[in-house]
Structures are given as C-alpha cells and as structure tokens.
Amino acid sequence: MGHLRINKEYIRIIKQAVKSGHRVFSDTTNYEVINDSVGQWLIHSKFNDHYIGLHGNLEKGYGLNGTEFFIKVGGHKVLLSDFVTR
C-alpha cells in the first residue's frame, strides 16, 4: 500500500512541475513529459517521435517507467523523486 501512495505522489509532483511551466525529462533530455491537447500525460521521445504513457510501479525504487524524472535548473539536474515523501 505504501508504494501505491508514493507512486501517486510522484506522479502528482511530475504533473505539477509540467503545469507550472517546467520541462520535465525522463532519464535524458531526449524524453520529455507532456500533457497533450486531449489531457493525456505522455513521455515523448524526441529521437524517434514516439510516445508512451506516464505510468509505472515503484517496486524497484522511484523510477516511473523505469527511469528518474528531473527538471533542469540553472544547467543542473534536479531529481523530482527528491520531493516525494518516502
């Protein structure tokens, strides 16, 4: 039950960062979280222009979709998992 609560909180933080105007990336800057015109939350690959849904489970840690999510602030990577209450 704890993982489910943490997963929901992590997703909420990712979505809030995007809504606040931050560019949120998954693993590398090639993969960017977007909220499309019909309200879907997706990860867009700039390399091949493919999309996958924002999902995952946290049994192996804090990586949704198997990766860490981050924003760049002043050229530095800030991990969004650092803002999740564990």
Q: What is the pLDDT of residue 53?
A: 83
Look up the domain containing 27 and give its range.
2-83
Q: Please tell me the total count of domains within the chain.
A: 1
Which has the closest alpha carbon to 17: 34, 5, 30? Answer: 34
- Residue 35, classed as helix, strand or coil, is strand
CA of 4: how far to CAs of 1, 34, 40, 69, 85, in Å? 5, 22, 20, 17, 12
Q: Which residue has the higher pLDDT, 26 or 84?
A: 26
pTM value is 0.81
Mean pLDDT of the region 45-68: 70
Q: Which residue has the higher pLDDT, 26 or 57?
A: 26
Res. 50: pLDDT tops 50:
yes
- Tell me: the pLDDT tens digits for 8-47? 788 889 999 999 999 999 989 999 999 999 999 898 999 9
Distance from C-alpha of 52 to C-alpha of 6, rounded to nearest angstrom: 21
- What pairs with residue 72 in β-bridges? 77
